[in-house]
Amino acid sequence: MEHIVILGNGISGVTLARHIRKLSDKKITIISAETEFFFSRTALMYVYMGHMKFEHIQPYEKNFWTKNRIELKKGYVSTIKPENKTLIFSDGESFTYDKLILAVGSKPNKFGWPGQDLIGVQGLYSKQDLDTLEINAPNNKVCKRAVIVGGGLIGIELAEMLRSRNIPVTFLVRESSFWNGVLPKGESEMLNRHIKSHHIDLRLSTNLREIKSDDKGQVQSVILEETGEEIFCNVVGLTPGVSPNIDFLKDSGIELSRGIKVNRFLETNIPDIYAIGDCAEQREAIGNRRSIEAVWYTGRMMGETLAQTICGNKIAYQPGHWFNSAKFLDIEYQTYGWVFATPKENNQHFHWKHEDDTKCITIEYHKSTNIFIGVNTFGIRMRHEVFDKWLTEKRDMDYVMNHLEDANFEPEFFKTYEKEIISAYNKQLQTVSQ
Ligand SMILES: Cc1cc2nc3c(=O)[nH]c(=O)nc-3n(C[C@H](O)[C@H](O)[C@H](O)COP(=O)(O)OP(=O)(O)OC[C@H]3O[C@@H](n4cnc5c(N)ncnc54)[C@H](O)[C@@H]3O)c2cc1C
């Protein structure tokens, strides 16, 4: 019987295994060094915040794996030898496969800062990071202040987590406004104010120079690059993004760039080796999607797609229109299609913000055809299927504005603000045409 070995038990690897089992009788083994069972990485924060126990973020019961004949193996694979289809574990054990799927995820970035390996310096990615945070920052007596370095989605999650235990947080963000490489100015500036209103000491345009240690090798303070200011702290959270976890593959013969190079069928350059999830890098662009997309649902989609191919129905990965969602403290964010920080050439933005400074919408559209390109919403829940359809149908702005209510999850909200939004849009049209 063909033996399918999946390296990585995150969303992509586990989705693949579940779907192969639905479609076939193949022998399946999932290997991971991190945890025995799959857990929802996106929910790690809720464990620290006390909303859930770790068991609650493991969606499958123990007997699910035996019932579905999916073997689980814990261990770290240090080498892959494609010439004899063998994996070598860090303890020297070897293990063979017929087909190998690399679903090895990401690793937190580190930029060689002095002091980055001190006790009390950590990222937020793995279950081990969660355990370490519990030791480093159990409360505000042990951790009198934390400094977070890197202003993206994981940075703000870590800030929220620490604030939930009343730990003072200083948040160092290299950019002049929070996440302004991704978000348009109005949204990014709204978030600056929102972060500060949660008593987070947000320092924009600020870089880390150095992390200093006490005489026991424990973090004592950080020094800021621009001013030389010293901030005393017990924990430093490094959250300047993630990159594919591929260092252990460098001598394997598998083609690597920033990630593991794959074609549309998720095949690497080596027969019978595939890559999915955060670690996969598309060789050719798929529409206007990024070549690496480190998000939950794309890992799941790749797992579902590859299961078909592995079970004899070879199909290409087709992610469709880009969408994503996240939470910035208590503001929900959704994005459908493309809204760039500054509109692409020939495009422009329509932006509306509610006076309470926690809700806004930005729509990107083509200047001359008025075709809808994408929407960002903050504090307003929208319907994915509606925007997806409008993007496919290439609807224009008049259509979108006239039907915005259909996309809204909360009709009451819309009744209250519809007039305001439409009149802001009409005002912008008049300004543009003058
Ligand atoms: C704190 C946090 C919050 C997030 N929130 C969101 C969110 O709200 N929305 C969203 O879309 N995305 C979010 N993400 C991103 C999302 O979680 C990832 O895109 C997704 O989990 C990646 O899944 P994966 O299957 O590709 O890899 P992973 O989940 O990283 O799984 C890979 C597994 O492989 C194991 N492994 C790697 N190499 C080896 C080896 N050599 N030997 C043995 N085992 C190995 C790793 O230990 C790991 O367990 C978040 C990520 C983090 C860290």
Residue 243 confidence (pLDDT) above 70: yes
Q: Which of 15, 16, 32 to mutate to test the pocket of ligand 1 (most atoms within 8 A of CB)?
A: 32
Examine the pLDDT at 279 and tell me if it is beyond 80. yes
Specify the residue with its C-alpha closest to ligand 1, atom 30: 105
Percent above pLDDT 90 for the chain: 91
pLDDT tens-digit map of 206-229: 999 999 999 999 999 999 999 999
* Residue listed under structure tokens 């499958």: 60
Q: Is the pLDDT of residue 416 over 70?
A: yes
Is 52 within 8 Å of 43 (Cβ atoms)?
yes
SS3 267: strand
In angstroms, how far is the first alpha carbon of the chain from the final one? 71
pLDDT in tens, 312-355: 999 999 999 999 999 999 999 999 999 999 999 999 999 999 99
| Structural tokens at position 205 | 């345009």
Provide Rg for the chain, Cα atoms: 23
Kindly give the number of the ligand 1 atom that is closest to the alpha carbon of 13.
Answer: 25
For tokens 């529409």, the residue is 287
Task: Report the alpha-carbon distance of residue 408 to residue 420 in Å, rounded.
Answer: 15
Ligand 1: nearest atom to the Cα of 324: 11
pLDDT tens per residue, range 170-194: 999 999 999 999 999 999 999 999 9
Q: Pick from 264, 280, 359: which is nearest to 315 by CA?
A: 264
| Residue from 42, 132, 133, 243 whose mutation best tests the ligand 1 pocket (most atoms within 8 A of CB) | 42
Is residue 260 within 8 A of residue 279, CB to CB? The reply is: yes
Sign of dihedral through CA atoms 201, 206, 211, 214? negative
Determine the angle formed by the axes of helices 384-392 and 397-407, rounding to 10 degrees: 160
Work out the angle at residue 401's Cα, subtended by the Cα atoms of residues 399 and 407, and round it to the nearest 5 degrees. Answer: 95
- CA 392, CA 112: separation in Å to the nearest integer? 44
pLDDT at 7 over 70: yes
Among 295, 297, 334, name the best residue to mutate to test ligand 1's pocket (greatest count of ligand atoms within 8 A of Cβ). 295
What pLDDT is stored for residue 288 in this prediction? 87
**Ligand 1 pocket by C-beta < 6 Å: which residues?**
7-13, 31-34, 41-42, 44, 76-77, 103-106, 124-125, 154, 157, 245, 248, 277-278, 294-297, 299, 326
CA 278-328-38 angle, 5° bins: 40
Please state whether beta strands 331-337 and 169-172 pair in parallel, antiparallel, or not at all (unpaired).
Answer: unpaired
Q: For ligand 1, atom 50, which residue shows the shortest CA distance?
A: 42
Q: How many CB atoms lie within 10 A of CB 208?
A: 23
pLDDT tens digits, 13-63:
999 999 999 999 999 999 999 999 999 999 999 999 999 999 999 999 989
Query: Please, are residues 181 and 341 in contact by the beta-carbon 8 Å criterion?
Result: yes
3-state helix, strand, coil in the chain (%, to 5): 30, 30, 40
Q: What are phi and psi of 24, to 5 degrees?
A: -155, 180
Write out pLDDT tens, residues 123-152.
999 999 999 999 999 999 999 999 999 989
Q: Which two tokens stand for residue 319?
A: 């992610």
Mean pLDDT, the chain, integer: 95
For residue 429, pLDDT over 80 is answered with no
370 CA distance to ligand 1 middle (Å): 38
* The pLDDT value given to residue 412: 77
Nearest CA to ligand 1 atom 33: 8
Query: For 384, phi and psi rounded to 5 degrees?
Result: -55, -50
Distance 116 CA to ligand 1 centre (A): 22
User: How many A from CA of 98 to the centre of ligand 1?
Assistant: 25
pLDDT of residue 346: 96
Given a cut of 80, is residue 431 above it in pLDDT?
no
Q: Distance from the CA of 380 to the center of ligand 1, in angstroms? A: 28
C-alpha span between 143 and 122 (Å, rounded): 14
Which atom belonging to ligand 1 lies closest to the Cα atom of 78?
A: 41
Token reading at 51: 């909303």
Q: Are strands 230-232 and 219-224 parallel, antiparallel or unpaired?
A: antiparallel
Cite the DSSP H helix spans in 28-170.
44-48, 62-67, 127-136, 153-163
Report the amino acid identity of residue 285: A
Report the pLDDT value the prediction gives residue 228, as an integer from 0 to 100. Answer: 98
User: Cβ atoms within 10 A of the Cβ of 112, count?
Assistant: 5
| Whether residue 433 has pLDDT greater than 70 | no
Q: What pLDDT does 432 receive?
A: 54
Contacts of residue 166, defined as CB under 8 A and 6 or more positions apart, other chains included, come to: 139, 140
Q: Are strands 70-74 and 27-32 parallel, antiparallel or unpaired?
A: parallel
Confidence of residue 411 (pLDDT cuts 50, 70, 90): confident
